[in-house]
Amino acid sequence: MTDAHSPNAEGDFARGDFAVDLAGVAALAESIREQIGKAVVGQSATVEHLLIALLARGHVLLEGPPGTAKTFLAQCFAATLGLDFGRIQFTPDLMPGDILGSNLFNFQTSQFTLTHGPIFCDLLLADEINRTPPKTQAALLEAMQERRVTLDGTAHALPEQFMVVATQNPIESQGVYPLPEAQLDRFLFKVSVDYPSFEEELRIVARFGENRGAPSPAACGVEAIANHAVIEAASRTVSQVTLAESVTDYIVRLVRATRESPDLASGASPRAAVLLAGAARARAALDGRDYVVPDDVKALAGSVLRHRLLLSPAAEIEGKQVEALVAQLVEQTEAPR
């Protein structure tokens, strides 16, 4: 049997026969990166955000132009985790019942039978989420916040590890519906997925140029190397990472600064501060530390805050960007030493 603190084979994760301490969390993350790397070229920053969200029990919104492997990356990430995977292709005619399910009358038994929708899974890929109207987008609100679904007045629990990975095209694209603020606020991260570098694109074409049709994770050799028990244990380890009072104070001051900026019409909510703290803990664990440092907060502030802030009319006229304002606030807010 493998040493409890030094797993040396991917099978150890799937069997769950080791203790997930900080070293185990780092080893698990590295194995997930390796599996995804079999299929996806580049996107290391996006993968890192997905790992942090997994450990912090958050949701991720991937935004980028078509053809940048957003959906494929989400599929590969799900394929490595050994979790129940669901996918919804969001379209303009999608209805809330298509996501949540419904109670259907069974004429043979003269009773209503609950039919679960695709949201009843561990990891949900909400593909092109901004292609459907706000009424249908809102079907995810309760699920993402409380991990439950209410149908005909009855609450149905979702798995404790329920996670949404959503993709969307840039707002400037045609035929899209901007996500409401309440929906955006439930995502831990909004990650901008850009075009690959020249060298990465060469590798992509060399690897997939002869393929017919879209590649699949299985065809690329991506295997499941985790399970519910391992991911739950890793999340518990992350929750034990120390968040000093001075760092907590720094997070709160940074988030409150977004509400006081004259360039922002709407700042970040207290939920943003809570999620940023949890994400900072996960980042520290991935780095092998049992304590959070200000650099963890600084590194994640942009991804946590960018989708929660609205520019003031004057700032829009001046052509200011939310990302630049967040970077400015991070620089201006004094960090503990």
**Tens place of pLDDT per residue across the chain (337 aa):** 334 344 444 445 554 444 578 888 999 999 999 999 888 888 889 999 999 999 999 999 999 888 888 888 988 998 899 888 889 999 888 888 888 887 776 677 777 677 888 999 999 999 989 888 888 888 888 889 999 888 877 888 898 889 999 998 876 666 778 888 888 899 999 999 889 889 999 998 888 877 777 788 888 888 888 888 889 889 999 999 999 999 999 999 999 999 999 999 888 999 999 999 999 999 999 999 999 999 999 999 999 999 999 899 998 899 889 999 999 999 999 988 8
Residue 330's alpha-carbon distances to 129, 215, 269, 304, 325, in angstroms, are: 30, 40, 16, 12, 9
For Cα atoms 119, 121, 127, give the angle at the middle one, nearest 5 degrees: 55
Judge contact between 297 and 254, C-beta under 8 A.
yes
Q: Which of 309, 331, 336, 313 is nearest to 322 (CA)?
A: 309
Radius of gyration of the chain (CA): 21
Measured over the CA atoms of residue 67, residue 69, residue 70 and residue 71, the dihedral's sign is positive
CB 169 within 8 A of CB 71: no
Neighbours of 206 (CB within 10 A): 10
- Closest by Cα among 132, 159, 165 to 146: 159
Q: How far is residue 221's CA from residue 319's CA, in Å, rounded to a whole number?
A: 45
Rounded to the nearest 10 degrees, the angle between the axes of helix 245-260 and helix 294-305 is: 30
Please name each of the domains of the chain with its CATH number.
10-237 (3.40.50.300), 242-332 (1.10.8.80)
Note the pTM of the prediction, 2 decimals.
0.86
Helices (H) and strands (E) in the chain, counts: 15, 11
- Structure-token pair, residue 228: 């519910």
